[in-house]
Amino acid sequence: MTAHTTRRRRWAAAGAALAASVLLSACTSNTPEPVDGDGGGNEVVGGGANDETGESIRIGFSAPAADHGWMGAITKAALAEAERHDDVELVVAEATNDVSMQISHIEGFINDGVDAIVLLPFDGAALTEIAIEAMEAGIPVINVDREFSSPFAARSTVLGDNYGMGVSAGTYICEELGGESGAVVAEIAGIDSLPLTQDRSKGFADALADCGLEVSNRVAADFTVAGGQQAAANLLQAAPEIDAIWNHDDDQGVGVLAAIEEANRDEFIMVGGAGSANVMRAIEADDSVLKATVVYPSTQAADGVRLARLIAHGKAMGDLVEVEVPRTIQLFAPVVTKANVDDYLPTAFES
């Protein structure tokens, strides 16, 4: 067994024993450069000993097809992050929504002996077994966004915060409505059968309850423009007066806004979800019902690449005392408004 292989297996074994969970949006710099604003953005910043060039490594990367703006931004950000490092070669598998094909891609990474794998699975449960195989082969797996069904399938996991998105949206609406009793709050969800949608709705309901409000009207769409437009049209017809709307997804929000314009409605404020660039530009212009959006970071895979590089180099995260990369990292779900939009627009995705 080579020293390199031994080291990789030690990293994988150490990962199984870690249980730390932290909140952050950038993760490699020991001495990060100052960032303008309130520090809540997820701008990519460099600097510090962790960015110094080390041993050359190959990282396999696989993600679903870019069938909407957020997913396309995931891969784009991962590629950009890899290009920042002279010691990283990112081997990108063809994006696919075919589980069998994605499994085949991971098998290829294992056979090629890559140093790490960053994997956003189309279906976390379905990709669990092959991820375990990679870990058992001594290849650390960084699981992104959609969790595996076993803790043994990943060295580290990078997650967004779906429940937190709902909390952030509900808290903002509570503040904007000023505790107005009897306010009509509407919700346009994504696909109701998905746990992420259920988590977002639960967080939203919990935050509203904290200020004495509740969801008065709710419809579900499907994360598409057409679905968002139809769902919003149904909602607007059913609710002649609305004070605030939270739309879970900015991609489907393109259709939601089209329905609002067609209905000639502007008596409410609207909060988006995910953090697309077109929504942020509308917030900046401040000439529509859109007043805020809640970020679901499209930089998750880029963070995954950073973590994979640290693990492969045997390094830790510079701003933590812990000597290993954490097991689980959950990114924050900040609210973007006109006041802070400039901090978030540079990393926003195009719907």
Q: Tens digit of pLDDT for each residue in 243-283?
A: 999 999 999 999 999 999 999 999 999 999 999 999 999 99
Tell me if 3-160+298-331 shares its fold with 162-295: yes
Taking Cα atoms as reference points, which of 305, 312, 321, 313 lies closest to residue 49?
313
Tokens for 278? Answer: 């077109």
Query: What is the rounded CA–CA span in Å between residue 7 and residue 227?
Result: 49
Contact (Cβ atoms closer than 8 angstroms) between residue 115 and residue 130: no
Give the tens place of pLDDT for each residue, 167-222. Answer: 999 999 999 998 778 899 999 999 999 889 999 999 999 999 999 999 999 999 99
Question: Yes or no: is domain 3-160+298-331 CATH 3.40.50.2300?
Answer: yes
Contact indicator for 116, 59 with CB cutoff of 8 Å: yes
Place of tokens 């998750």: 300
Helices (H) and strands (E) in the chain, counts: 11, 13
Global confidence as pTM = 0.81
**Spatial contact of 95 and 151, defined as CB atoms under 8 Å apart:** no
CA distance 259 to 289: 12
**Would you kindly state where each structural domain of the chain is located, as residue ranges?**
3-160+298-331, 162-295
The pLDDT of residue 271 is 98
Structure tokens at 277: 């660039």
Q: Which CATH number fits domain 162-295: 3.30.930.10, 3.40.50.720, 2.102.10.10, 3.40.50.2300?
A: 3.40.50.2300
Strands 88-92 and 141-144: unpaired
Which portions of the chain are predicted below pLDDT 70? Answer: 1-48
Closest CA to 17 of 193, 151, 139: 151
